[in-house]
Structure 1
Amino acid sequence: MEKLLRGIIDFRKNKRPGLLDLFRNLAEKGQKPDVLFFACADSRVVPNLVVSTDPGDLFVVRSVGNLVAPASSEGVSVADVSEASAIEYSINHLPVKHIVVCGHSHCGAMGAVLAGRDKLKGVPNLKEWLSHAEPSFARLVRSPFIKNELPPADRLSQANVLQQIDHILTYPGISERVAQGTLMLHAWWFDVPNADVHVYDRERGGYTLLDEAEADRVLSGRSGIRPS
């Protein structure tokens, strides 16, 4: 907590003066982010730091395991309506042009799923929430491009990102927008010890380090994810 308080003081003294115009503009004209970014709640994953964005650039949702509960046949989330609300608001009112799900290495949620939810004691809400990662086991089986040399939790984490994209596709309007080219879906994975971002490339199959060449592929639409 002390670091947070000192950080606020440092921000006010040293950074706030150079950002006041930006914040005033955002307050007057509103936000217009073009990306809805789903990330894990893990403190080691800091989206704005990793992607070097400013206030107003990202509409961010964070959850344990970067999980997104799927929608029912009526289009309503089967679990967390907060995430569903973020999807609806971002695509209908902002509107965003990209949705990113970003998993990461050394994910404690994936480790817990691997160990078995039945071993979680005294955390009934966490136990129930992690059920939305269990379909990722089947997704891993269908993803032979995920490298075998990765630790088991990291392999599951990469498959889990793709599974959560599948969950997002269950929401009304998502598949239609993707098919029309007005919305792109992206699966990213953050390698914590190396601080590197890898992106899933649907054409070549597998996760690739995001460098300048890969960034061009992402922007061209060649590495986005489309409904199966």
Structure 2
Amino acid sequence: MGVDLNKDPTFFDRADAHIRQANEHCADTGRGKVSASLMYGCARFQAWNAATWAKDVEDMKARRDETVRYFVEQYQAMLEENLDDYIGNFAQYMQQEDPPKPTSTILERYAAGERSFASGDFGDQTHDLAGATLDDADFSGCLIVADFRGASLQRVSFRNANVKTCDFTGADLQDASFEGAAIDGARFDGASLSGASFTGASDQGHIYAPNELPDRCDHGHMPDT
């Protein structure tokens, strides 16, 4: 379908505006339903458009089939043009993005006022808790796999918990307790560990002594050889 932009320079601006509105509806409605509404709205507008051309109702009746053929042909030409464009540029237009991480139920429960998650099993997924505020939460005895990067975890208890491979990079762990916890593979790079306790925590066979802290410049404490 050829468009003379000299005669209609805002053609694609208007088309893009319709597409943006359709995309906004897709945020809370299925694409199929949005598509059906969009086609119906277009058909309704074109019926009104055809009525404005007609001298009277008899003229509109006489031109009905001609009008249908015109719009069907125009739509088919536009659809074929855009299908061919997507076929020719499929890899560019349909780049697969990483799916968003699911919202952690931990955040929802914390926001509702819950603070005790003791002995819970949160190993079903990698919980995205980066940047979260979970001060005073109790994860003692839990199994948890989580991204805690930059999180505020002041006074949080991970006593006897399994936090293997969790990422605490840059987290605020002031006065947090990891006593007796399994911290194999956990990262503490740049974390604030003021007042934190790791007494009895285990990492690759190493048992932490009182006042001993993990290496915050590496992936974890390496056992003594």
* TM-score calculated relative to the size of structure 2: 0.22
Would you tell me which structure has more helix in proportion to its own residues?
1
Task: Report 1 or 2 for greater relative contact order, CA contacts < 8 Å, sequence distance ≥ 6.
Answer: 1
Would you tell me which structure has more strand in proportion to its own residues?
1
